[in-house]
Structure 1
Amino acid sequence: MSSGDTSGTGRTAGVEALVTPWVVARVAGPSMTPTVRSGDRLLARRVAAGTAVRDGAVVLARFPARPGLLVVKRVRGAVPGGHWVEGDNPFVTDDSRAFGPAVVVGRVVGRLWPRPGRLPCRPA
């Protein structure tokens, strides 16, 4: 996942927050296939530090172990230190299975391109 709009100045547990309230993020990689695919553009809203995010939500998150990496993942539950997040593609492990709890910095509201609309709460 990458985006030119996601650099931050605020920090939470060593993790940069999103600078603006709304972010357009470009997905890079297969970890959330089939829900979103590489090249999709997503609209996300910044999440305040410590905000509870419901299970099943698609989010932008950072791992304290890799604070420069911004990922799109699905929340599986709240755990000490943040949220447990996983990709919908079980064959890709760039998620909490590899890096531990993540800090959620944004909640994905919907896909802007190429198929505009809301994302399902559960994997397709």
Structure 2
Amino acid sequence: MPERVHEREPEGGAGAGQEHGGLLRAFGLAEVYNPSMVPTLRPGDQLVVRYGAVVRPGDVVVLRHPFRQDLLIVKRAVQRRDGGWWVQGDNPFVENDSREFGVVPDELVIARAWVRVRPPRGIQRSVAGVLAWAVSAVRPVRAARSFSRRLRAR
């Protein structure tokens, strides 16, 4: 089953913030549906993404699937290669990534994940419950340098 992300594009489409200079339109939301990025991301997680951001090895990115460009997927940009990015999921049991479809051209990488928001499980009935959820649920999505080094060492 291919990884799928539901993207809520800013007004004017992907990258609209770059064209119109609007800071808010440079950011968007994406929802993760499948487990290819477990344990970093789980189905149901929301991502705050930045359109047109510089991508570095280890960044989590939203991209168009090379064979089905209407399908958005989320992967880790592992390394720069001739013609684009080698991307992989963090879940070693799911191979719907560059191991299957090869290098992804730069123009198909549309956004870099900035913050992950994990939805609450059940109703939070206390301030302490809401605070506990907020501390564990809202995390920056940072480059996993150790992950990319580990992949190159294989």
- For this structure pair, what is the TM-score category when the shorter chain's length is used for normalisation? 0.7 to 0.9
2:114: which partner in 1?
109
Alpha-carbon distance in structure 2 between the residues aligned to 1:21 and 1:69: 21
Report the equivalent of 2:60.
58
Q: Distance in 2 between matches of 1:112 and 1:95?
A: 23
Matches of 2:65 and 2:77, distance apart in 1: 13
Match of 2:33 in 1: 28
Query: What RMSD over aligned residues (CA atoms) do the two structures have, in Å?
Result: 2.3
- Which of 1 and 2 has higher RCO (CA within 8 Å, sep 6+)? 1
User: Please, which runs of 5 or more residues in structure 2 have no aligned partner?
Assistant: 17-24, 120-136, 148-154
Look up the equivalent residue of 1:28 and give its one-letter code.
Y
Higher helix share: 2
Is the strand fraction higher in 1 or 2? 1
Could you say what secondary structure the match of 1:68 adopts? coil
Moved beyond 3 Å, runs of 4+ = 6-10, 17-20
SS of equivalent to 1:31:
helix
The TM-score with structure 1 as length reference comes to 0.79
TM-score where L is the length of structure 2: 0.65
Rg bigger for which structure?
Answer: 2
Aligned residues: 114
After superposition, give the CA deviation of every residue in 1:33-86 in whole Å (9 maximum; x if it has no partner).
Answer: 0001000011000026xx5x2110011112332211211110111122221110
